[in-house]
Amino acid sequence: MCYTRKASTVTTGLGGASVAEKMMSREDGRPVDAFDTACQAVKDEEPGAVENLRHLTGEHPELLERIAEAGDMAAIAERRIAAVLSPGDALQEEKLRVWIEATQRDLEEPGDGALERILIRRVALCWFAVNTAEVMRAGNWKLGNLENDRAAFADRRVSRYTADLLKATRTLATVRKLRRPVVMVNVAEQQVNVIRP
Amino acid sequence: MAWETRKRGDWYYTRTRREHGRFVREYVGGGIVGEVAAMLDAEERAERDAERARMRAEHEQAREVSEALAALEAVTREAIADVLHAEGFHRHNRTWRRKRG
């Protein structure tokens, strides 16, 4: 799948090759992805990987701290949601963990970095919350004990979680679209920027 | 109190409810009739209390989940802003754009 963007008049005026070089050079400055790759290299026990990781951590300490904080918060949110929705039920908690991992795998795309993975985890959590709220609402309907107050509350809860899910999905799509490498193609002297999936 | 003591010394069961902002007392009866009415009322009250507790628990559950998701959203928003700024993007009218040049 390809996303196409209309070329601006400025880039068309500059000519294909030079603009392409400029655009490709912008893709280099991605400390978070470099950090991600360095972490993987450390896990794979590649030579010099630890030194590289230390170097990157020293270069962008705040940024990497922020990503780590977001990752931690995702783990905390997952634990909290599991504890709230299935209190004291280890089997349910394990089912949640497995479901979230499977959903994350389904949503991951080649080229996703650390930031995208955190956003995917958020989408999976929101999705789980929507599913649970819908199951609870359906369960109440089945029991026939849905009074006006409870019905309104169940509907409100489903709506709120659905809004959260849509927001999370939109954010993930935006970040992916922005961070994808841009490739430029000139067709009959018309420049078209193509974002690779 | 639901049980009233009469001058004769026996007990009489009454119910009190609110109607248009006023308290209205309904006189049900004494003896076995009063006891049965009291038992039924107690059961109904227990059911209402349980339902209220269930609702409270559901509200609490929903609040906790919303809080967890909101906290995650706040942190990811900051992370996105930092990462995109570091990668040469800027925000214009609430939209992220790549810097020119």
Q: What is the pLDDT of residues B36-94, one digit of tens each?
A: 999 999 999 999 899 889 889 888 988 988 998 999 999 889 888 888 888 888 888 88
Single-letter amino acid code for the residue at A2: C
Q: What does the angle CA B61 – CA A80 – CA A69 come to, to the nearest 5 degrees?
A: 135
In chain B, where the domains are located: 3-74
Interface of B with A (CB under 8 A): 55, 58-59, 61-62, 64-69, 71-73, 75-80, 82-84, 86-89, 96, 98, 100-101
Q: Nearest Cα to B78, choosing from A69, A149, A13, A141?
A: A69
Please say whether the beta carbons of A93 and A84 come within 8 A: no
Instruction: Please write the tens of the pLDDT for every residue from A59-116.
Output: 777 777 777 778 888 888 888 888 887 777 888 888 888 998 999 999 998 878 888 8
Residues of B in contact with A84 (CB under 8 A): 61, 64-65, 68
Q: How many angstroms separate the CA atoms of A100 and A97, rounded?
A: 5
How many Å is the maximal CA-CA distance in chain A? 69
In this predicted structure, what is the pLDDT of residue B93?
85
Q: How many angstroms separate the CA atoms of A137 and B56, rounded?
A: 16
Q: How confident is the model at residue A163 (pLDDT cuts 50, 70, 90)?
A: very high
Q: How many angstroms separate the CA atoms of A122 and A172, rounded?
A: 9
Give the DSSP letter of residue B20: T
Q: How confident is the model at residue B3 (pLDDT cuts 50, 70, 90)?
A: confident
Q: How many angstroms separate the CA atoms of A58 and A63, rounded?
A: 11
Interface of A with B (CB under 8 A): 10, 22, 26, 29-32, 60, 62-63, 66-67, 69-70, 73-74, 76-77, 80-81, 84-85, 115, 118-119, 122, 125-126, 129, 133, 136, 149-150, 153, 157, 160-161, 164, 167-168, 171, 174-175, 178-179
Q: How confident is the model at residue B101 (pLDDT cuts 50, 70, 90)?
A: low
Q: What is the mean pLDDT of chain A?
A: 75
Query: Which residue in B67, B78, B96 is closest to A66 by CB distance?
Result: B78
pTM of the full structure: 0.70
Instruction: Please write the tens of the pLDDT for every residue from B10-21.
Output: 888 999 989 999
Q: CA dihedral defined by A102, B83, A183, A38, rounded to 10 degrees?
A: -70
ipTM rounded to 2 decimals: 0.71
In this predicted structure, what is the pLDDT of residue A144?
62
B62 and A157: CB-CB below 8 Å? yes
B76 and A70: CB-CB below 8 Å? yes
In this predicted structure, what is the pLDDT of residue A97?
86
In this predicted structure, what is the pLDDT of residue A14?
43
Q: What are phi and psi of B4, to 5 degrees?
A: -105, 145
Q: Distance of CA A156 to CAs A67, A95, A149, B92, Å?
A: 32, 26, 11, 33
